[in-house]
Amino acid sequence: ITEVRATNFRTARDVTLELGPIAAFIGEPGTGKSNMLAAIGALLSGEHQVRPGDVRRGRSDASIEATLADGTVVTIGQSDRLPGLVLIPARLRASELILPPADHPDALRCVEIFRRHLDDAPAPRIALVRALEQCAVEIRGVVFVIEEPELFLAPHGDRYLYRLFHRLTAAGNQVLYTTHSPRLLNVSRLEEIHLVSRDGDGVTDVEHLRPLDADDEFRASCEFDAERSELFFSRAAVLVEGMSEKQALPHVVRALGHDVDRAAISIIDCGGKGNLPLFIEICRRAHIPSVTVFDSDVRGHAQPSEELLRFNRRLRRAAGRGNYVEFNPDL
Protein backbone atom coordinates (compact mmCIF):
# COMPACT_ATOMS: atom_id res chain seq x y z
CA ILE A 1 0.00 0.00 0.00
CA THR A 2 1.45 3.38 -0.94
CA GLU A 3 -1.43 5.60 0.18
CA VAL A 4 -4.55 5.32 2.34
CA ARG A 5 -7.37 7.88 2.45
CA ALA A 6 -9.83 7.70 5.36
CA THR A 7 -12.86 9.99 5.62
CA ASN A 8 -15.17 10.20 8.63
CA PHE A 9 -13.69 7.02 10.11
CA ARG A 10 -13.56 7.17 13.91
CA THR A 11 -11.38 10.18 14.82
CA ALA A 12 -10.27 10.75 11.21
CA ARG A 13 -12.25 13.44 9.41
CA ASP A 14 -10.09 13.47 6.30
CA VAL A 15 -6.67 11.79 6.62
CA THR A 16 -4.25 10.73 3.90
CA LEU A 17 -1.42 8.36 4.83
CA GLU A 18 1.64 8.07 2.61
CA LEU A 19 3.14 4.68 3.36
CA GLY A 20 6.46 3.07 2.60
CA PRO A 21 7.50 -0.52 3.29
CA ILE A 22 7.69 0.32 7.02
CA ALA A 23 5.48 2.86 8.81
CA ALA A 24 5.69 3.59 12.54
CA PHE A 25 2.86 5.64 14.07
CA ILE A 26 3.80 7.58 17.20
CA GLY A 27 2.00 10.13 19.35
CA GLU A 28 0.49 10.62 22.76
CA PRO A 29 -2.21 8.21 24.00
CA GLY A 30 -5.66 8.96 22.63
CA THR A 31 -4.50 10.75 19.49
CA GLY A 32 -5.81 8.05 17.12
CA LYS A 33 -2.80 5.87 16.30
CA SER A 34 -4.76 2.63 16.65
CA ASN A 35 -7.60 4.15 14.60
CA MET A 36 -5.21 4.56 11.68
CA LEU A 37 -4.31 0.87 11.87
CA ALA A 38 -8.01 0.02 12.26
CA ALA A 39 -8.80 1.87 9.03
CA ILE A 40 -6.20 -0.18 7.17
CA GLY A 41 -7.49 -3.34 8.84
CA ALA A 42 -11.07 -2.54 7.83
CA LEU A 43 -9.98 -2.01 4.24
CA LEU A 44 -8.00 -5.24 3.96
CA SER A 45 -10.26 -7.47 6.03
CA GLY A 46 -12.66 -8.10 3.15
CA GLU A 47 -15.64 -6.55 4.92
CA HIS A 48 -18.20 -4.99 2.59
CA GLN A 49 -18.77 -1.79 4.54
CA VAL A 50 -17.64 0.32 7.46
CA ARG A 51 -19.37 -0.70 10.68
CA PRO A 52 -21.85 1.86 12.09
CA GLY A 53 -19.76 2.32 15.24
CA ASP A 54 -16.74 3.35 13.14
CA VAL A 55 -18.46 6.33 11.53
CA ARG A 56 -17.47 9.68 13.03
CA ARG A 57 -20.08 11.06 15.38
CA GLY A 58 -22.50 13.35 13.57
CA ARG A 59 -21.57 11.99 10.14
CA SER A 60 -23.73 9.81 7.92
CA ASP A 61 -21.07 8.03 5.94
CA ALA A 62 -17.43 6.98 5.97
CA SER A 63 -15.02 5.77 3.33
CA ILE A 64 -11.58 4.18 3.15
CA GLU A 65 -9.61 3.65 -0.03
CA ALA A 66 -6.01 2.86 -0.84
CA THR A 67 -3.57 2.99 -3.71
CA LEU A 68 -1.42 -0.09 -4.19
CA ALA A 69 2.16 -0.13 -5.47
CA ASP A 70 1.00 -0.98 -9.02
CA GLY A 71 -1.32 2.04 -9.08
CA THR A 72 -4.52 0.08 -8.43
CA VAL A 73 -7.07 1.91 -6.26
CA VAL A 74 -9.03 -0.34 -3.88
CA THR A 75 -11.95 0.37 -1.57
CA ILE A 76 -13.80 -1.49 1.17
CA GLY A 77 -15.53 -4.57 -0.17
CA GLN A 78 -13.15 -4.96 -3.11
CA SER A 79 -11.61 -8.24 -2.03
CA ASP A 80 -10.22 -9.54 -5.33
CA ARG A 81 -7.21 -7.16 -5.52
CA LEU A 82 -6.45 -6.72 -1.82
CA PRO A 83 -3.13 -7.89 -0.35
CA GLY A 84 -3.20 -10.30 2.56
CA LEU A 85 -3.59 -8.86 6.05
CA VAL A 86 -2.01 -10.09 9.28
CA LEU A 87 -3.48 -8.15 12.21
CA ILE A 88 -1.69 -8.45 15.57
CA PRO A 89 -3.55 -6.34 18.18
CA ALA A 90 -2.12 -5.44 21.58
CA ARG A 91 -5.02 -7.09 23.42
CA LEU A 92 -4.00 -10.52 22.09
CA ARG A 93 -0.28 -10.26 22.85
CA ALA A 94 -0.47 -12.63 25.80
CA SER A 95 -2.62 -15.24 24.04
CA GLU A 96 -3.55 -15.89 20.38
CA LEU A 97 -1.37 -13.04 19.01
CA ILE A 98 -3.12 -12.87 15.65
CA LEU A 99 -6.71 -12.22 14.56
CA PRO A 100 -8.32 -14.60 12.01
CA PRO A 101 -7.65 -13.08 8.58
CA ALA A 102 -9.83 -12.74 5.51
CA ASP A 103 -9.84 -15.61 3.04
CA HIS A 104 -6.45 -14.85 1.54
CA PRO A 105 -3.98 -17.71 0.95
CA ASP A 106 -0.85 -15.84 2.13
CA ALA A 107 -2.55 -14.53 5.26
CA LEU A 108 -3.96 -17.99 6.05
CA ARG A 109 -0.46 -19.40 5.73
CA CYS A 110 0.72 -16.83 8.31
CA VAL A 111 -1.97 -18.06 10.71
CA GLU A 112 -0.62 -21.60 10.39
CA ILE A 113 2.89 -20.37 11.16
CA PHE A 114 1.76 -18.37 14.20
CA ARG A 115 -0.32 -21.21 15.63
CA ARG A 116 2.53 -23.69 15.27
CA HIS A 117 4.94 -21.41 17.13
CA LEU A 118 2.35 -20.67 19.81
CA ASP A 119 2.16 -24.42 20.45
CA ASP A 120 5.96 -24.82 20.57
CA ALA A 121 7.28 -21.63 22.20
CA PRO A 122 7.43 -21.24 26.00
CA ALA A 123 5.75 -17.78 25.86
CA PRO A 124 3.66 -15.77 23.33
CA ARG A 125 6.36 -13.06 23.08
CA ILE A 126 8.85 -15.69 21.91
CA ALA A 127 6.25 -17.16 19.56
CA LEU A 128 5.74 -13.72 18.00
CA VAL A 129 9.42 -13.32 17.16
CA ARG A 130 9.84 -16.88 15.89
CA ALA A 131 6.71 -16.67 13.75
CA LEU A 132 7.84 -13.40 12.17
CA GLU A 133 11.26 -14.93 11.51
CA GLN A 134 9.63 -17.74 9.55
CA CYS A 135 7.31 -15.32 7.75
CA ALA A 136 10.35 -13.33 6.61
CA VAL A 137 11.56 -16.48 4.83
CA GLU A 138 8.31 -17.93 3.48
CA ILE A 139 5.75 -15.13 3.06
CA ARG A 140 5.44 -12.53 0.30
CA GLY A 141 2.96 -9.72 -0.36
CA VAL A 142 1.36 -9.51 3.10
CA VAL A 143 0.66 -6.37 5.14
CA PHE A 144 1.55 -6.91 8.82
CA VAL A 145 -0.39 -4.52 11.08
CA ILE A 146 0.93 -4.61 14.67
CA GLU A 147 -0.12 -2.65 17.73
CA GLU A 148 2.73 -1.94 20.16
CA PRO A 149 5.10 -4.74 19.12
CA GLU A 150 7.34 -3.95 22.11
CA LEU A 151 4.87 -5.44 24.63
CA PHE A 152 6.56 -8.01 26.90
CA LEU A 153 9.90 -7.69 25.07
CA ALA A 154 13.24 -6.75 26.64
CA PRO A 155 15.18 -3.83 25.09
CA HIS A 156 17.39 -6.10 22.98
CA GLY A 157 14.19 -7.79 21.77
CA ASP A 158 12.92 -4.43 20.49
CA ARG A 159 16.14 -3.83 18.57
CA TYR A 160 16.05 -7.29 17.04
CA LEU A 161 12.38 -6.93 16.14
CA TYR A 162 13.10 -3.69 14.26
CA ARG A 163 15.74 -5.46 12.16
CA LEU A 164 13.28 -8.31 11.64
CA PHE A 165 10.74 -5.82 10.27
CA HIS A 166 13.29 -4.87 7.62
CA ARG A 167 13.80 -8.54 6.76
CA LEU A 168 10.04 -8.87 6.28
CA THR A 169 9.93 -5.88 3.94
CA ALA A 170 13.00 -7.05 2.03
CA ALA A 171 11.03 -10.23 1.32
CA GLY A 172 8.22 -8.18 -0.25
CA ASN A 173 5.93 -7.55 2.71
CA GLN A 174 4.85 -4.35 4.46
CA VAL A 175 4.95 -3.61 8.22
CA LEU A 176 2.76 -0.96 9.86
CA TYR A 177 2.85 -0.49 13.62
CA THR A 178 2.18 1.81 16.56
CA THR A 179 4.86 2.12 19.20
CA HIS A 180 6.05 3.90 22.35
CA SER A 181 9.54 2.40 22.14
CA PRO A 182 12.44 4.54 20.85
CA ARG A 183 14.24 1.29 19.97
CA LEU A 184 11.65 0.66 17.24
CA LEU A 185 12.46 3.97 15.54
CA ASN A 186 15.43 4.91 13.41
CA VAL A 187 16.34 8.58 13.18
CA SER A 188 18.30 7.96 9.97
CA ARG A 189 15.00 6.75 8.48
CA LEU A 190 12.71 9.62 9.43
CA GLU A 191 10.50 8.75 6.46
CA GLU A 192 9.31 5.68 8.39
CA ILE A 193 7.84 7.85 11.16
CA HIS A 194 4.27 9.20 11.17
CA LEU A 195 3.38 11.72 13.90
CA VAL A 196 -0.23 11.35 15.05
CA SER A 197 -1.93 14.23 16.87
CA ARG A 198 -5.47 15.27 17.78
CA ASP A 199 -6.93 18.78 17.85
CA GLY A 200 -9.38 20.33 20.29
CA ASP A 201 -12.34 18.96 18.32
CA GLY A 202 -11.03 15.39 18.66
CA VAL A 203 -9.96 15.15 14.99
CA THR A 204 -6.86 13.10 14.20
CA ASP A 205 -4.10 14.48 12.02
CA VAL A 206 -1.08 12.54 10.73
CA GLU A 207 2.19 14.03 9.49
CA HIS A 208 4.69 11.95 7.55
CA LEU A 209 8.24 13.07 8.37
CA ARG A 210 10.62 13.92 5.56
CA PRO A 211 13.94 12.07 5.30
CA LEU A 212 17.20 13.75 6.20
CA ASP A 213 19.79 14.69 3.61
CA ALA A 214 22.34 11.97 2.90
CA ASP A 215 25.12 13.57 4.97
CA ASP A 216 22.84 14.24 7.95
CA GLU A 217 21.36 10.76 7.65
CA PHE A 218 24.78 9.17 8.13
CA ARG A 219 25.60 11.43 11.07
CA ALA A 220 22.22 10.74 12.67
CA SER A 221 22.69 6.99 12.34
CA CYS A 222 26.04 7.35 14.14
CA GLU A 223 24.82 9.70 16.89
CA PHE A 224 21.32 8.44 17.73
CA ASP A 225 20.75 5.64 20.19
CA ALA A 226 17.55 4.65 22.01
CA GLU A 227 18.16 7.22 24.76
CA ARG A 228 18.47 10.08 22.28
CA SER A 229 15.53 8.77 20.23
CA GLU A 230 13.45 9.35 23.36
CA LEU A 231 12.94 12.90 22.09
CA PHE A 232 10.33 11.61 19.58
CA PHE A 233 8.06 10.82 22.54
CA SER A 234 8.69 14.12 24.35
CA ARG A 235 6.43 17.11 24.70
CA ALA A 236 9.60 19.23 24.52
CA ALA A 237 13.35 18.73 24.43
CA VAL A 238 16.34 20.50 25.93
CA LEU A 239 19.33 19.96 23.66
CA VAL A 240 22.68 20.09 25.45
CA GLU A 241 26.29 19.59 24.42
CA GLY A 242 27.22 16.71 26.69
CA MET A 243 26.89 14.71 29.86
CA SER A 244 27.76 17.55 32.27
CA GLU A 245 24.69 19.56 31.26
CA LYS A 246 22.52 16.44 31.08
CA GLN A 247 23.41 15.56 34.67
CA ALA A 248 23.24 19.08 36.07
CA LEU A 249 20.07 20.51 34.52
CA PRO A 250 17.53 18.15 36.16
CA HIS A 251 18.84 19.29 39.56
CA VAL A 252 18.46 22.92 38.52
CA VAL A 253 14.92 22.30 37.32
CA ARG A 254 13.98 20.49 40.55
CA ALA A 255 15.42 23.36 42.58
CA LEU A 256 13.01 25.62 40.69
CA GLY A 257 10.09 23.39 41.70
CA HIS A 258 9.61 21.35 38.52
CA ASP A 259 10.29 17.81 37.31
CA VAL A 260 11.32 17.18 33.69
CA ASP A 261 10.02 13.60 33.69
CA ARG A 262 6.61 14.60 35.00
CA ALA A 263 6.45 17.27 32.29
CA ALA A 264 7.57 14.74 29.61
CA ILE A 265 10.59 16.90 28.75
CA SER A 266 13.73 15.14 27.55
CA ILE A 267 17.22 16.50 28.19
CA ILE A 268 19.22 15.20 25.24
CA ASP A 269 22.99 14.88 25.33
CA CYS A 270 23.85 15.60 21.69
CA GLY A 271 27.41 14.32 21.88
CA GLY A 272 29.17 17.63 21.40
CA LYS A 273 28.51 21.19 20.34
CA GLY A 274 29.04 20.34 16.68
CA ASN A 275 26.01 18.03 16.67
CA LEU A 276 23.55 20.60 18.00
CA PRO A 277 22.42 21.90 14.56
CA LEU A 278 21.54 18.34 13.48
CA PHE A 279 19.42 17.75 16.59
CA ILE A 280 17.74 21.15 16.20
CA GLU A 281 16.79 20.23 12.63
CA ILE A 282 15.38 16.84 13.68
CA CYS A 283 13.26 18.49 16.39
CA ARG A 284 12.04 21.04 13.85
CA ARG A 285 10.97 18.34 11.39
CA ALA A 286 9.27 16.34 14.13
CA HIS A 287 7.52 19.47 15.52
CA ILE A 288 9.09 18.97 18.95
CA PRO A 289 9.54 22.28 20.81
CA SER A 290 13.17 22.57 21.84
CA VAL A 291 15.59 24.80 23.74
CA THR A 292 19.29 24.58 22.88
CA VAL A 293 21.86 25.02 25.66
CA PHE A 294 25.47 25.66 24.65
CA ASP A 295 28.74 27.21 25.78
CA SER A 296 29.97 30.33 24.01
CA ASP A 297 33.58 29.21 24.65
CA VAL A 298 34.56 32.88 24.36
CA ARG A 299 37.00 33.65 27.17
CA GLY A 300 38.09 37.16 28.00
CA HIS A 301 41.82 36.46 27.99
CA ALA A 302 41.92 35.11 24.42
CA GLN A 303 40.72 36.39 21.09
CA PRO A 304 38.07 33.95 19.80
CA SER A 305 38.49 32.58 16.31
CA GLU A 306 36.20 33.77 13.56
CA GLU A 307 35.15 30.14 13.05
CA LEU A 308 33.94 29.88 16.67
CA LEU A 309 32.01 33.16 16.45
CA ARG A 310 30.47 32.08 13.16
CA PHE A 311 29.36 28.73 14.62
CA ASN A 312 27.82 30.43 17.68
CA ARG A 313 25.84 32.70 15.37
CA ARG A 314 24.72 29.66 13.40
CA LEU A 315 23.45 27.99 16.60
CA ARG A 316 21.48 31.07 17.62
CA ARG A 317 19.84 31.31 14.21
CA ALA A 318 19.06 27.59 14.07
CA ALA A 319 17.52 27.53 17.55
CA GLY A 320 15.56 30.72 17.02
CA ARG A 321 15.14 33.79 19.15
CA GLY A 322 14.19 32.90 22.72
CA ASN A 323 14.89 29.20 22.18
CA TYR A 324 18.50 29.02 23.35
CA VAL A 325 20.56 29.51 26.50
CA GLU A 326 24.19 30.51 25.98
CA PHE A 327 26.62 30.07 28.87
CA ASN A 328 29.49 32.57 28.96
CA PRO A 329 32.06 31.22 28.74
CA ASP A 330 30.74 27.76 29.71
CA LEU A 331 28.66 25.83 32.24
Q: Which span out of 41-50, 173-182, 206-215 was modeled with the highest average pLDDT?
A: 173-182
State the Cα–Cα distance between residues 207 and 195, nearest whole angstrom.
5
Taking only Cα atoms into account, the Rg of the chain, rounded to an integer number of angstroms, comes to 23
DSSP 67-84: E-TTS-EEETT--SSPPE
User: Which residues are registered as beta bridge partners of 236?
Assistant: 265
Q: How does residue 222 score in pLDDT terms, banded at 50, 70 and 90?
A: confident
Residues 323, 291 contacting (CB under 8 angstroms)? yes
pLDDT for 79 equals 67
pLDDT in tens, 25-81: 999 989 999 999 999 998 888 766 678 788 887 777 888 999 999 999 998 877 677
How many Cα atoms occupy the beta-carbon half-sphere of 152 within 13 Å? 15
d(CA 156, CA 152): 12
- Residue 273: pLDDT band with limits 50, 70, 90: very high
SS3 285: helix
Give percent of the chain above pLDDT 90.
75
**Could you give the dihedral angle defined by the CA atoms of residues 129, 131, 136 and 142, in that order, rounded to the nearest 10 degrees?**
-110
The pairing of beta strand 204-208 with beta strand 193-198: antiparallel
Tell me the average pLDDT across 239-262: 94
Report the distance separating Cα 244 and Cα 239, nearest Å: 12
| pLDDT tens figures, 107-158 | 999 999 999 999 999 999 999 999 999 999 999 999 999 999 999 999 999 9
